[in-house]
Amino acid sequence: MAELPELARTLITRELHAQGLFAHMGCEILEVEAGRVTLAMDFRKEVAQQHGFFHGGSVGFLIDNATAAAAGTTLREGQSLLTAEYKVNFVAPALGARLLCRAEVVKAGSTITVVEARCFVVKDGAEKLCAIGLASMAVIAARTLAS
Amino acid sequence: MAELPELARTLITRELHAQGLFAHMGCEILEVEAGRVTLAMDFRKEVAQQHGFFHGGSVGFLIDNATAAAAGTTLREGQSLLTAEYKVNFVAPALGARLLCRAEVVKAGSTITVVEARCFVVKDGAEKLCAIGLASMAVIAARTLAS
Amino acid sequence: MAELPELARTLITRELHAQGLFAHMGCEILEVEAGRVTLAMDFRKEVAQQHGFFHGGSVGFLIDNATAAAAGTTLREGQSLLTAEYKVNFVAPALGARLLCRAEVVKAGSTITVVEARCFVVKDGAEKLCAIGLASMAVIAARTLAS
Amino acid sequence: MAELPELARTLITRELHAQGLFAHMGCEILEVEAGRVTLAMDFRKEVAQQHGFFHGGSVGFLIDNATAAAAGTTLREGQSLLTAEYKVNFVAPALGARLLCRAEVVKAGSTITVVEARCFVVKDGAEKLCAIGLASMAVIAARTLAS
C-alpha cells in the first residue's frame, strides 16, 4: 500500500488516545502504517484472568482496537467506520509479560473493510502466537457518525 | 435445565471474582443459573471509546466472560473449559448508563460447548439490544488445566 | 414485525429459484415471512460427507441462503443486500432424512442487517438442533448491484 | 512443517472423494501438503447464485472442506477431527471461471486446531481474493467417531 500521510497517523493516534478504555488497559501504539496497525499492552493483574494469563477480553480489546485502527488508515475524505463484527480464535494460553496485536487490512472495500489480526504474547523475549482475529467494518459517510 | 447446585454457583462466582480484569472493568454478576449467566457493568469513561459509548472491547469482555461462565455451569466432575473462540456482531451503538450481557448455553457437548449471548445497553430504564455473541469452549479434563 | 407484502414474498422466492445451486442442492422454501425464512433439503448422497451425514457445506449453504433471504424481507424500496459474512457452529452430527434452517433477523439496520439461524436435522420425525449460524449483510443502494 | 507422508495424503484424498457433495460440486484437489490444502472448482450454473457469481454456499463449501482437510494433515495416530465452526468473510464478488481455496493450519493443537483459508476467483487467468475463512476443529480420539 501507499505511504500513510502524517495527518492520518495523527488523527488515528488521537482517536485511540481519546478512548477511556485505551488508557485503562494500558494500551500502547507501536505502529500505524497504511493498512497496518500494531498495538501492545503489558501484563498486569488488572488485565488478567484467574490463572495469571491475559484475559480473553484483553485479547479481544486489542483485536477490536487494532483492526478498527488499521481499517481507519484506509479511509478516504468524508468516510467513517463502524465496527460490524469481530471474531477471535484462541490458539495458546496468553501467558507472558506483554501482548502484541498486529492487524492488517485484507480488503478495503467501498462498503465493508475486512481486517485480520494476530496476537502474540511475549515471554522471555520470544513472541508466541496466542490468538487470531478477523473483523469487518462498515464504511459509512462521515456525517452519519456525527448525526 | 436442572437447577444449579449452590456449590457450582459459588465456584463460578469465585472464579469470576478472581479475575483482575473483572474488578478493573467494574463487572457485576446478576445471575448464575444452569446454562445461563448474566453479567453487567456501569458506564464510566474507563470502559468507553472516544464517542462516549461503551467500547467494543468492553462488550467483547462481557460476552467472553458471560459465555464462559454459562458454559461452566454445565460442567461435570473432572471437566474444565478453555474458550476456543467467540464472535461479536454489533447491532446498535452501546450508548447508555449500563451494559448487560445475557449468555445462554445452546449445546453442552462432551467435546465443545456452544453458548450464545445478547448484550443490552440500558438507557433511561429501557434495554436496547446492542450486540449478539456466539462462543465455543473446548471441554477438557480438569487436570489438563492444572498440569 | 409487520406482515410481509405478497410482492416481496414473490420476489424473494423468485431470487432463490434463480440460483443454480438452489436446485442443485434440492433446496425447498418452507416459509418467507417478515424477518423470517425457513429453508429445507432432503438427505441424498449428493449433499453428504463421507460418513453419511449432511456435509458441513450443505449446512453452510442453507444458512447462507436462509439468512440472506430473511434479511431480504426487511429491505425497503431502492435497497439491496450483499452478504458480508457468516459463521456456523456445529453442535451435533447432521444425521437424518431432512435438514431445516430457520433464519430470523436480529436487527435490520440501515447499514448492516444481522440474522441468526438454527439448523435442525429431522430424524424419525423429530427435529434435533445440529448447527447455529450468525450472518451479516451490508445494506446497499439497489443500483450498486446493477452497476 | 515436515513433509507429509504419502499414506496421509492418500487417506485425506480418499476421504474427500468419499463425500457425495465433493463430486456433486465438481470439487478438485490441487494440493495436500503438511498443514496446507488447496481445493478448486470450475464455474457452472449448478454452483452459482442468481447473478452469475459463485454462490456464497459454494465458497463456504470449499472453505469447510479445505480447512478440515488441512487440519487432517496434522493428525497423529489415533486422532480424528470434528469441525467445530467456520466463518467466511466475503471481500469481492466471486465472478470468474474458477474458484480456488487455499487453507493453511495456523495452530495444530492437542484439543483444537485452527485453520485459515483464502478463496480466489480466477478470471482471465488472474486470481482475485474473494473470501477469507477461519475455522476450528476439535481433535478427538479416533474411536469416538467410530462409536
Question: Residue D17 corresponds to which amino acid?
Answer: H
Contact C138 A82 (CB under 8 A): no
Tell me: pLDDT of B18 over 80.
yes
Residues of A with CB under 8 A from a CB of D: 87, 89, 91-92, 106-107, 109, 112, 114, 116, 129, 132, 134, 136
Share of residues in chain D with pLDDT > 70 (%): 96
Contact B136 D85 (CB under 8 A): yes
Element (DSSP H or E) covering residue B145: helix B142-146
Q: C-chain residues within 8 Å CB-CB of A136? A: 84-85, 136
- Report pLDDT digits (tens) over A54-100: 999 999 999 999 999 999 999 998 999 999 999 999 999 999 999 99
Tell me: pLDDT of D145 over 60.
no
- Report pLDDT digits (tens) over C107-139: 999 999 999 999 999 999 999 999 999 999 999
Instruction: Select from C134, B112, B145 the least CA-distant residue to D81.
Output: B112
Question: Residue C88 corresponds to which amino acid?
Answer: V
Q: C-chain residues within 8 Å CB-CB of D68? A: 56
Instruction: Select from D145, C92, C130, C128 the least CA-distant residue to B109.
Output: C92
Which residue does chain A place closest to C83, by CA atoms? A112
- pTM of the entire structure? 0.95
What distance in Å separates the CA atoms of residue D98 and residue B127, rounded to the nearest whole number? 48
- Report pLDDT digits (tens) over C54-110: 999 999 999 999 999 999 999 998 999 999 999 999 999 999 999 999 999 999 999
Question: For residues A112 and C138, is the Cβ–Cβ distance under 8 A?
Answer: yes
C20 backbone dihedrals φ, ψ, rounded to 5°: -60, -40
Which residue does chain C place closest to A113, by CA atoms? C84
Q: C-chain residues within 8 Å CB-CB of D24? A: 24, 46-47
Q: What b/e readout covers D80-111, taking b as 16+ CB neighbours within 10 angstroms?
A: bbbbbbbbbbbbebbebebbbbbbbbbbbbeb
Q: C-chain residues within 8 Å CB-CB of B103? A: none
Could you give the C-alpha distances from C53 to C24, C58, D20, in angstroms and in order? 18, 10, 10
Q: What per-residue confidence (pLDDT) applies to C143?
A: 64
Contact A84 C140 (CB under 8 A): no
Q: What per-residue confidence (pLDDT) applies to A145?
A: 45
Of D106, D132, D136, the CB nearest to A114: D132
Q: B-chain residues within 8 Å CB-CB of A130? A: none
Task: Give the number of other Cβ atoms within 10 Å of residue B8's Cβ.
Answer: 17
pLDDT band at D2 (very low <50, low <70, confident <90, very high): confident
Tell me: pLDDT of C23 over 50.
yes
Q: Three-state DSSP class for D44?
A: coil
Beta strands per DSSP E along C61-125: 79-90, 98-108, 112-123
Q: Which of B105, B107, B112 to mutate to test the interface with C (most CBs of C within 10 A)?
A: B107
Of A24, A50, A58, the CB nearest to B15: A50
How confident is the model over B50-69, as a mean pLDDT? 97
Tell me: pLDDT of B147 over 50.
no
Residues of A with CB under 8 A from a CB of B: 15-16, 18-21, 23-25, 44-51, 55-58, 60-62, 64-65, 68, 82-90, 145
Q: What is the mean pLDDT of chain D?
A: 95
Task: Give the number of other Cβ atoms within 10 Å of residue B76's Cβ.
Answer: 9
Of B89, B109, B116, the CB nearest to C114: B89
Q: D-chain residues within 8 Å CB-CB of B140? A: 111
Question: For residues B54 and B62, is the Cβ–Cβ distance under 8 A?
Answer: no
| Beta pairing class for B98-108 and B112-123 | antiparallel
Q: A-chain residues within 8 Å CB-CB of B26? A: none
Q: What per-residue confidence (pLDDT) applies to A2?
A: 76
Residue C144 neighbours by CB under 8 Å, 6+ apart: A111, C80
Question: For residues B18 and B29, is the Cβ–Cβ distance under 8 A?
Answer: no
Which residue does chain B place closest to A54, by CA atoms? B21
Question: For residues A66 and A32, is the Cβ–Cβ distance under 8 A?
Answer: no
Which cell numbers in the block locate residue C130?
445440529
Q: What per-residue confidence (pLDDT) applies to D146?
A: 40
Q: What per-residue confidence (pLDDT) applies to A54?
A: 98
